[in-house]
Amino acid sequence: MGPEISRQRGVTTTPVPATQGEQGYTDREGQAMGDREERFSEAFRAHYGELTRFVARRAPSRIVDDVVADTFATAWRRFDPEPTHVRPWLFAIAYNVMRTQLRGLGRWESLQIRMDAEPPLPPSDLADEVALRTDVVEAFGRLRAADQEVLSLAVWEELETAEAAQVLGCSSRAYLVRLHRARRRLSTMLAATTRRADVQGARS
């Protein structure tokens, strides 16, 4: 039946399933199931935190735990054979779970990546960094949700091209085209934002 996934935030272990005898497995089947559960538990512990952050950047806080739990429940059902690259595979499952849940809430088309999950600013050149980040945040917020998603997979999640394409369910070539266009749009938005800030500064 597989391990149950807790929906409580911060839980990083999976309960131990029933014993081989209780489930009626042969010794060989029981060993195979035990190996599968051990590998899945390792993947759970390794990726729980970053998967939760991945979801929290994209979904309302009230459904984050449900999305993460449903992601791991789905992953368990599909874990045999074990995927070669577990991290992007889990992100792809979470992405689809979010689409389903947010579509039900009528929010998917207007979904935007949250900017408050960025790493803290370095102490050096803080004023310039703050000004630049403010411009970037404003420009990023003016992008379409699809462009934000493409950029976030490359920047925040630091996925390779093939991994990001797997999350979005497209080819690597298609992802690179989307990424190029999103970067170009962000550059245009950033230039416009900077010009507007310069004009406002000159008037003040």
| Spatial separation of the C-alpha atoms in residues 151 and 183, rounded to whole Å | 7
Contact predicate 92/167, CB 8 Å: yes
- Which residue, chain included where needed, has tokens 């004009």? 199
Mean pLDDT (whole number) for 85-89: 93
Name the CATH code of domain 1-111 (choices 3.30.70.20, 1.10.1740.10, 2.40.50.100, 1.10.510.10): 1.10.1740.10
Domain boundaries, the chain: 1-111, 116-204
Residue 123, classed as helix, strand or coil, is coil
Kindly report the backbone phi and psi dihedral angles of residue 48, in degrees, each rounded to the nearest multiple of 5, phi listed first: -55, -50
Options 1.10.10.10, 1.20.1260.10, 1.10.760.10, 3.40.50.360; CATH for 116-204 is: 1.10.10.10
Interior CA angle at 100 toward 45 and 141, to 5°?
A: 85
- Considering the chain, what is the average pLDDT of its residues? 77
The band of 201, judged by pLDDT with boundaries at 50, 70 and 90, is: low
* pTM of this structure: 0.69
Helix, strand, coil shares, percent, the chain, to 5? 70, 0, 30
CA–CA distance, 190 with 171 (Å, rounded to integer): 28
Q: Kindly report, residue by residue over 63-82, the tens digit of the pLDDT.
A: 999 999 999 999 999 987 77
Work out the percent of the chain whose per-residue pLDDT is above 70: 64
Q: Does 202 have pLDDT greater than 80?
A: no
